[in-house]
Amino acid sequence: VQLQASGGGLVQPGGSLRLSCAASGKIFSINAMDWYRQAPGKQGELVATFTSGGNTNYLDSVKGRFTISRDNAKNTVYLQMNSLKPEDTAVYYCHVKGDVYEVVLGIFELTAFDSWGQGTQVTVSS
């Protein structure tokens, strides 16, 4: 499964960006879709995720400013980022887990996948 992320860029403090991440391949189901970020010299952190119950969970520092959403028909996850701050500057990575299908000798088989996007740079600066 390949993930194609887009939407990063340079924005002034207080501005907004919307990240997108589209998964492609023989996807049968998706169990998890997340956004992580890593700032220079810092550990990576989970920014937003869907819980197993279908709810959302956010890093404390982005609550109320970021919104994760998904389009199941398009196998795409989004991250709407509002009121951006300089401390949000980082490379943002999407992460998707699920199952892919294949027919082998007439038998329908599922295989788990765990894929990461290539990362998209978000820079918040005046």
Q: What is the DSSP letter of 25?
A: S
> What is the DSSP secondary-structure string of the chain?
-EEEEE--EEE-TT--EEEEEEEESSEEEEEEEEEEEE-TTS--EEEEEE-TTS-EEE-GGGTTTEEEEEEGGGTEEEEEE-S--GGG-EEEEEEEEEEEEEEETTEEEEEEEEEE---EEEEE--
Mean pLDDT taken over the chain: 95
What was the pLDDT predicted at 52? 73
What was the pLDDT predicted at 54? 79
What is the distance between the alpha carbons of residues 118 and 105, in angstroms, rounded to a whole number?
A: 34
Residue numbers in the chain where pLDDT is lower than 50: none
What was the pLDDT predicted at 72? 92
What was the pLDDT predicted at 53? 78
What was the pLDDT predicted at 91? 98
What was the pLDDT predicted at 115? 96
> Which has the closest alpha carbon to 44: 95, 5, 85?
95
What was the pLDDT predicted at 37? 98
